[in-house]
Amino acid sequence: MVAAVVPLVLAIGSIFIATSIAAIVSQACPLADAYSEMILLMGMAVIIDYHLFIVSRFRHEWKAGRPKLEAIAVASDTTGRAVFYAGVTVMLSLIGLMTTKDTIFFSLDL
């Protein structure tokens, strides 16, 4: 039950924070009409996908016979690193879109 609730709470929290930041930024520069949908889709997809990735790795290690804390450590070390680099890649791609100076991409990135 906890494994199902944690990604939803994280997703809702991150979506709320991102939408709040976008609302503040929109006071200074105009944003595309679809920015709220983009925040919602990215937040839900990334949080839930990466959470399931880590949980499945933990279960694999636990079923392989590792103690619970060791399985958490191995899952965090291997999968956590992959999730971190994937997140950095997403951030870099969004920064790349901002450098295009296209108003659609620029307004979606902010």
Supply the pLDDT for residue 3. Answer: 62
C-alpha 42, offset from chain centre:
7
**pTM of the predicted protein model:** 0.60
pLDDT digits (tens, 9 = 90+) for 69-102: 888 888 878 887 887 888 888 888 877 877 777 7
Instruction: Please enumerate in sequence order all residues whose Cβ is within 8 A of that of 42, keeping only pairs 6 or more positions apart, or say none.
Output: 90
Give the count of domains, the chain: 1
Domain that holds residue 13: 2-109
